[in-house]
Amino acid sequence: MAEPRLPIPVDPAAIEVLLPTTNHFAVFLLLLSLVLFSATTVILAAPRIVPRLSALFTQLRHTRVHQAPLGGPFTAVTTGRPSLATFTSTSHHSAIFTNRPGVDMAKYANPPQPPPLFTGTKESIVADAKALCERTRALLDAQVASIKPDEDPSSATFESVLLPQTEDENESSLSSRILGFYQYVSGDSALRDASTEAEKIMDEFAIECSMREDVFRLVDAVYKNSGLADSLAKDKDRVIDATLAKAAGLADVESARLLERERKSYIRNGLGLPEGPQRDRFKEIKKRLSQIQIAFQKNLNEENNGIWFTPEELDGVPQDVLDTLEKGTGENEGKLRLTFKYPDLFPTLKFAKNPETRRRVFVENENKCNQNVPLFKEAILLRDEAARLLGYPDHASFRIEDKMAKTPKTVMDFLNDLKSRLAAGGVKEIQHLLELKKKDHEERKLPFDGNYYLWDHRFYDRMMIEHEYSIDENAIAEYFPLKSTVAGMLRIFEELFGLVFVELTPEDRARISPTGKAEDISWHEDVIIFSVWDDATEGDGFVGYLYLDLHPRPGKYGHAANFSLQPGFLKKDGTRRYPATALVCNFSKPTEKKPSLLKHDEVVTLFHELGHGIHDLAGRTRYARYHGTSTVRDFVEAPSQMLENWCWTPSQLKSLSSHYETGQPIPDDLIEKLIATKHVNDALFNLRQLHFGLFDMAVHTPKTHEELEKLDVSKLYNDLRVEISQIKGPEAQGEPSTWGNGQATFGHLIGGYDAGYYGYLSSQVYSTDMFYTVFKSNPMDSVQGRRYRHTVLEKGGSQDEMLTLEQFLGRKPSTEAFYKELGLA
């Protein structure tokens, strides 16, 4: 998910593994605080293949950032084309907001900017991608031909070189992200294939641009002429602030940051290598890595495997789930087909009484996309080779250099220290769960071998909460129908941040659509669209568009993520371009008997992803590149993680709830019980996150390239899981530790979180500090909410994130609240 690349963790599709139970706090590295206080120079949230084109072509911001962490403790668009959607007014959903008393909705009827169009065809999507590349190539060629810094040093200025490039990037981002978005949401496989091809075209062009030495010479000349070079040479750790930007003769901090990062990106993309075989090989590696990422993600998006079970094998799985499963015919007559999508997978692992059913589901889920196994191995080998070509000892050193931790040693020290601190708690939790399993097996006369398995955990974690805390998650879900819960969340954002969400009816859509057709501004009939505005206290101005695509369907991205469809920025004439952002989720569909009901962990996930959407909508930057969630990976999850706390606050839980039959809010005693479960089996959850983080570091820090070539990645993945979590896998039943290929579903590490998964953990330090310091005493303090909106969310990546944190907190961030929340203070 979240800058979701979701492209993607969250090129996301990769992660259809268990959605994270976001009620648990991920563990962070103990000593990171030492770095946090001194870290200054940070990089953009997503990996930037090409310096100036990243926002354009390689950043969809859907899954790479706005993607949820791996879950569970285990586990140019033109008009007049045929519509992607099959929208009709008769099929439109019931409204989220049925009435808005006291709000004059008429003043929000006419947005000053139309919504984007989704009218691409398989031909136009590819053609538009090529046109974007040609337009940018023409601009760069013209600059190189007309600006000669060797002859006239003064000709290379920010205004003559960087400004035209960023203006081109701004405009191109309005269509490039949508061209790549079709592959995640379109119900038409031909459009998905075209979108994949378009992304490949744009990525390869981005690599070409990133290695243009003639353009680099222009950018380097601007950098040297500006005085920024001399200032940073004297103090390489200096934060670019307003004083430094002014001294360099640049308009603002954002422009100074862009210039410094732009120049450095060229060097990190191979222009420090001599012309010839080494540089050519580096370029080949970059192109192949782009191809691997696209293929890896496509395999995950298109995955549609399943298992046929008899009703007896699915005993215990809620009837609501069973009612949605495909019914078998022929040789599968009387059976039900279980897929590996969220609404099927999670309830089965939680409720299926038959341990062999759970085992089969767990193991086959780990092997659902084995065609990605060789792609993963090839990717880590190519990354290592590229890093060594640039003079780094390994890929992690290359990636972490510009992050807050700075070195792999710092990261590893932190992760290992936390692992040792949590180990005893994990063992204690397993012992308790194992006792529960033993009792259950004895009562049901099932064999018991004394082991607690990976496929046991969700089942007995759920049972423990039900028995010891008197919590029935299905009963709680009855208080959280999807639509009323979404409405409650939006009302919280309205009150806290001074926003107004206006749901677009079919008539509204037709009226504001550039083509006059309602169906042209959506990609599927299920999609809900809001125009978003400032309320009267914030000036009644337009903010942007929010899209909600909430239910699974064939070919759709299978995780939960936020996708930035169009960023905001300042246009040439000084007016603002407003953003469009989409939440793509996979919550269960309503049935004839019940609406879609959310488990509490799904409520948290929805709030988290909406938080990314609000971050995107609230952005007010000069350049598209730094808009909204385009921050460093170590920070990008913090705003959404902080908002998760509202889902554990009694008053907000009550305001979000409305029983699907009675309309009554959730009772106080049930809220109290629910909150008491927040940190149940927390050590095991955090150890699982450490497994992901340590595996990520292990494959990206080999001592030699030859060592990596010999590495059995599947064995490492499974061995590390057992070692860290202490929960048994099929190895304990005599199978080799190559039984599963979880890394083949680990989209985070292919979609931008390589040597960076620990970023999910570091963000928890900041999010907890912000919540405890500012919101814990009064989560609905609208004064502080607006200050947060304007101080943190608006800034995006336009300035150093540590500076943003210090401005909001009034001091340097601290780990104290984080460890206090985890019970490790």
Residues known to be catalytic: 609
Q: What is the C-alpha separation between 357 and 9, in angstroms, rounded?
A: 28
At position 292, the amino acid (one-letter code) is I
Which is it for strands 569-570 and 576-577: parallel, antiparallel or unpaired?
antiparallel
What tokens does 444 get? Answer: 């049901």
Rounded Cα distance, 571 and 518, in Å: 27
Which is nearest to 290 in space by CA: 556, 5, 565, 566?
Answer: 5
Sheet bearing 336-339, strands edge to edge: 306-309, 336-339, 326-327
Cα dist from 590 to 346, 556, 607, 663, 776, whole Å: 17, 18, 20, 17, 35
* Phi, then psi, of 567 in degrees rounded to 5: -80, 165
Report whether 617 contacts 349 (CB < 8 A): no
Dihedral sign computed on CA atoms, order 388, 391, 393, 394:
negative
Q: Determine the angle formed by the axes of helices 457-469 and 408-443, rounding to 10 degrees.
A: 70
- Rounded-to-integer distance, Cα 290 and Cα 183, Å: 16
H helices of 444-572, in order, are 457-469, 473-477, 482-497, 506-512
CA–CA separation, 336 vs 638, rounded Å? Answer: 41
Specify the amino acid at residue 425: G
| 8 A C-beta contact, residue 279 and residue 211 | yes
d(CA 148, CA 164): 16
Q: CA-CA distance, 537 to 518, in Å (whole number)?
A: 31
Helix (H, G, I), strand (E, B) or coil at 254: helix
Which residues have a Cβ under 8 Å from the Cβ of 696 and sit 6 or more positions away? 748, 749, 753, 754, 755, 756, 757, 758
In a 3-state reduction of DSSP, which class is residue 582? strand
249: left (phi over 0), alpha (psi -120 to 50) or beta: left
